[in-house]
Every structure is written in structure tokens, then in C-alpha cells.
A and B are shown apart, each in its own frame.
Chain A
Amino acid sequence: MAKTLGPVRNEFSPWTDSDAVPFISFQNVTKRFGDFTAVDDLSLDIYEREFFALLGPSGCGKTTMMRMLAGFDAPTSGSVSLDGTDLTGTPPYRRPVNMMFQSYALFPHMSVEQNIAFGLKQERVPNAEVKARVEEMLSLVKLEAFARRKPHQLSGGQRQRVALARSLAKRPKVLLLDEPLGALDKKLREETQFELMDLQERLGTTFMIVTHDQEEAMTVANRIAVMDKGRIVQIATPAEIYEQPSSRYIADFIGDINLMEGRLTAFSEAGATMQCAGMGPKPEQTLTVQIECDTTGTLSPGDAGWFAMRPEKVRLSQEVPDGIDPANPVNAVEGTIYDIAYLGNVSVYHVKINDGFIIRATQTNATRLVERPLSWEDKVWLYWGADAGILLAS
């Protein structure tokens, strides 16, 4: 039996529980704008207290999904329900859902506290309670000192916090975040990601985030749905998406990956053996790759398949690695260093193997290197374990 990902500590995974009742449910939802199909017959369940991310390139339909939940767009067909209630026909102002807009959409003629109080005032919450809630929200986002400022007198990061406080003030059942950190610089964005996670954990509100930034989705979310052309390509935890992408599209979209095409030659209990033409130690030789995987899938010996391996799982050595027969290597190949990208924490080596194919290998720079042991044009061996990569059918 092939290895699956190990159990996560402090596990929160209602999606694996067949008895769990979905909190948000999209059922066969299609949304067309004229000829353009933004969302194509899509079904999706999200559970209470989840931090769920919709990830995809622009135009993939992720924002449309969010807008249908908020009530700004109505599905062409299918239904959206929340907490057991079908939302079809419910206008946005009656949905227990609040949204943090990409542009923040702060009301420019109102102060920070008026912005935060806005939603509560619409509900005719008593003044004393509004005041208390505004103060609570201000302290939640650490903006007590800025209560009387107008939005144009705040920095980008502060505006983002006001928008967050405003969308949380009504204690919505679901908070929708539309590219919430897109306008912030990298450092602030990373900080804010952790704050968002912390906040979500403390409040226990279900969060749904739409983003095109995979790092952001990986950092904050419990589960990610990767979307492309109006369909969901994969729904899984960040670790699963990264380590077990379901297709080459996902593998390539999330992070960096080496993709090698080959022909499957043998299946066994432990996994599959694949031969990659032209990548062996000599041009006429094939590269033999053994992959630990579940062989009950769609592939069978004789089929073409893809071996996908993350660069950080490839090891580098100047000598022939232990247990490798240089004449007929398995899960190892010799090549020449073609390019080195020094990124500070890691270095990425682009190693050219004999037919010109480039395999990327990442090495952690654990010590301060004054003189690098490896340089351009050096001959190196690349090798990896049988569990380093996965087999993809498409």
C-alpha cells in the first residue's frame, strides 16, 4: 500500500467526516454572462469554522462564486445554500454573510467608526451596543487611535483593517474575503496573513477567501479549491495540494515542480516503474524511475505517465551516491550544472541532463557559504527516494 500523508495534529477535518453537515453548499451551480460561462456546473461543500480558499488565475470564476454567495450575482442554474437555508432569491442585504472587498470599499465620507458601525446601524441595533461593538472591533484590529479618521487619512494597511473590522462587526455567519491582501506590500501581507488566521481561530467564523496568490492560500486556508475555467480542479488541504496534486495543471500551478514524461513498464505492490526516454546516463538509455504510489488508479503498464517531483526533494552529490550503479542508475541521473539561482535561504540548481532536459534541485543554504562547493559546469549526480515524487496520469 502506498504512503498517504501522515495525520495532522490537532486535526480539524470535517470534510473527511461523512456525517458532517455542510455549512455552505453550492449545488450544480452554473453562471453565464452572455456567452461566457464563468462557473460551470460546480458543486462545493464548505463546513462550519473552515478557512476555505478559492484559488485560481484571474477569470477562473472564483470571484463569481463568492459574489453568488454574497448575493450580488444570481446563479444561472443550481442553488447556493447556507446553514440549511436556500439563499436563492435572498437579496444581499438579508444574507448573514459579509464581504471584505478587494478595493476595501470604505465609505469615504464616513470616519473609521462610522464605517464600522454602518452595518449595525442598518439593523437598528441600540446605540450603546453599537458603540460597544465598534470599540470591540477597533481593538480587534488595533485601530483604537484612528477611530475618528477618514479613510483617506489612513495607510493601505490601516484601511485593510478597517475593512476587515467593518465586515466582522455584524458577526456574520460567513466572512468573504476578496483578494483581501492584494494591495499590501509583501512584508505586511505576510504579517496580515497570520493575523487573519489568528482572528479566524478566535472568532470561529467561517472564512472564505478568494485569491490568485497560492502562498496566501496555502498559508491561511484549511482547505483549498483550485479553480480553472469555471471548474474546480482539486479540493484538498494545502499539504495535499502541494504533495499530491491531482494533475499536471495543479502541480505546475502550485509551487515549482519537475515534470518528466515516461512510459510505465511495471506495477507492483510498492508502486510503479517508469522509463523516461533520452534521460538516462547515455543519450540512448532511458532513465529508470521507481515511484512509490497507489497502482490501483487509471494507469496500467504500457501507458504514458508523468513523474512529478518538487525541486526540494531532489538531492545533489558530486560523487556517485551510495547504492547507485552508475551504469544503470535507478532514481538517479548525472548532469551538468547549467544555472544557479541564489535566493539567500535556498539555492536553486538547474541541472542539464544529457538530452537537454533540465531538472531543478533546491538546496537549503544551512551554512553561510563564502565559497560555494558547486559551480557552473560542474558534473553532479541528482538522486531521490522512491517517495520523493508522484505519478500523474494527466
Chain B
Amino acid sequence: MNALKRIFGARFVLIGVPYLWLLALFFIPFLIVLKISFSEPAISIPPYSPKLDVSNGLVAFWQQVREFGFENYVFLFEEPLFYRSYLSSLIIAGIATLMTLLIGYPMAYAMARAPRSWRAILLMLVILPFWTSFLIRVYAWIGILKKEGLLNQALLAIGVISEPLTILNTNAAVYIGIVYSYLPFLVLPLYASLERMDDSLLEAAQDLGCTQLKAFWTITFPISLPGVAAGCFLVFIPAVGEFVIPDLLGGSETLMIGRTLWVEFFNNRDWPVASAVAVILLLILVVPIALFQNAQARAEEKVL
């Protein structure tokens, strides 16, 4: 009785709700995708076989399970399109993350150093773009970047260029799109970690013989590294699987896994291969992050 009470107590509910949420909206869908990735494409609804069905009894169910195979995964490794898409996605996301960091770090730093009364307003300005749909904002970049768009018109008008630049439908446009869209995700955690820092640390560094620039590199930057890591992950992970930006702003040479997956899923109607693509993508992202976090936790422990 008591044990039951404990289990169903407030604590259980409190901890249980987020777990339930993860279970229902992440783990179970993932299992479904995993299952589909072991199936074969078929002309039916839904377009794959075997379809698991327990209504015909367990023997029939087991028969269906035995039809599962790894063909889709083998196919992914044999077909250069896929691994080129993965590689290209990682490179594009990596470069875009680096660019976001180069722009976002000074922004976050300036915000954290701004007079206290300004900080709330600056924070608002960073969050403001979220009030408009992501899709619309990416569309807006088409209007800016296209041949007769605002950017080219402005540059022509001030005479920097004589011919309009081709930016839209190139990787450059994808980089611009990713940096623009994900900048707040990097700035916010970075700002949080920089703002928390005690100003007297910098004074202490100066007192002990550092110039301001050196104090930044020896004190501020190392202390902000967890914020940098958090921000970079928040940009890199969604950027790898990004579909909308390469689809709207990218060109034919822009190879990204999100787009490949879309084509596989909707144009080729090959759900099993698309699922396998998604599973591999998840592994590519989750495994290194888990290793990284594990290493960080061990580094913390080692000090003790």
C-alpha cells in the first residue's frame, strides 16, 4: 500500500510526465521508423511490407518478423548518393556552425557587456524573429538574394558590383540561411554563460598582469566553452538534417541529407530506405554527442 502510494506519488508524476512525453513522441515513433527501415518497399498502403499484425496470431507475427532484412542499410552504403549526402550535410552544417559562432560570439559578448538596462531589450531583439514563421523568414531571403533581389539592387546602386551576383540557389545561400535561422540558438545559451560570469574575474586577471585581450582568451573564453558547446550543438544538430533551407535557397549542387530523405520518401515513395536514412542520421548525431558528454562527465570526475 505504502509502496504503491510512493510510486504513484507526486514525485512519480513529476518525473513521469517528461518521460512519458519522450516515450510517446520520440521513442515509439523511432521504433516505428526503425521497424519500417527493416521492411521492403511495396505497392500498397502503407507502401512497405511486411506489415506487422498480431491479429493473425503470434506464429504469423513471427513469420512477418523473420522477413525483416538489412537490405536497405546495405543499399545506403552501396549507393554513393547517400554517403555523399551525409558527408556534405555534415560539412555544410559544420561550416555553418562555425560561421554562426563567429557572428554569434561577439553578439553574445556585446550583449553580456552592455549596460544592464539595455540587456532585456537586446535579448528581445534576438528572440524577435521567432514571432514570424520560420518558413516565411526563409522565403524572405529568396527576395533578398535573388538576381533582381534587394541585395543585388543595393550593391549595384552603390556601385560595388556591375553585374548582379548569383547567390540564390548556391551553397552560399544555404550558409546564409542556416546562419540567419539558427543564430538565436547559439546566442542565447552563450549569452547566458557569459552574463553569469563574475566581472571581478577579469579584474583579477588584469591585476595579475594580463592585458584585456589576454584576459579574454585566458579567462572569458575558456569559461564560456560550455556555452559555446551548447550553442554549437543547438545549431549543428538541426542544421545537419535541415530540409527547408537547402530546398528553398540551395541549388542543384546542394546535397543535404534532409533533401535526399524527402526525395526518397515523397518522390520515390520508398519509405523503408527513407527510414533507414533517418536511423543512420540519428546514429551519426547521437553517438558522437553521447561520447562527448561521457568524456566531459569523466573529466569532471577526474578532478575530484
Contacts and interface: CB of A to CB of B under 8 A. Distances in A.
Contacts of B200: 101-103, 105
A119 B209 contact: yes
Contact of A98 (B207, B214, B304): B207
A145 to B, nearest CB: 14
A70 B209 CA distance: 12
Contacts of A170: 208-209
A301 interface: no
Given A149-B303, A153-B304, A93 B209 contact: yes
A72 interface: yes
Nearest to B197: A108
Interface string B203-230: 1111111110010001100110000000
A109 interface: yes
B201 A122 contact: no
Nearest to A99: B207
Nearest to B223: A109
Interface in B178-212: 198, 200-201, 203-211
B210 A93 contact: yes
A308 B272 CA distance: 95
A107 interface: yes
B223 A101 contact: no
Dominant secondary structure at the A interface: loop
Nearest to B199: A105
Contacts of A385: none
A15 interface: no
A106 B227 CA distance: 20
B227 to A, nearest CB: 13
A98 B205 CA distance: 10
Query: Which 9 pairs across A and B sit closest by C-beta, in order of nearness?
Result: A122-B209, A119-B208, A105-B204, A105-B200, A92-B206, A93-B209, A109-B222, A101-B200, A99-B207
Interface of B: 198, 200-201, 203-211, 214, 218-219, 222-223, 303-304
Given A107-B219, A118-B218, A166-B208, 9 more contacts: A72-B206, A92-B206, A93-B209, A93-B210, A93-B211, A99-B203, A101-B204, A107-B204, A122-B210
29 contacts: A72-B206, A93-B206, A93-B208, A93-B209, A93-B210, A97-B207, A98-B208, A103-B198, A105-B198, A105-B200, A105-B204, A107-B201, A107-B204, A107-B205, A107-B223, A108-B201, A108-B223, A109-B222, A109-B223, A118-B205, A119-B209, A122-B209, A122-B210, A148-B303, A153-B303, A153-B304, A166-B204, A167-B207, A170-B208
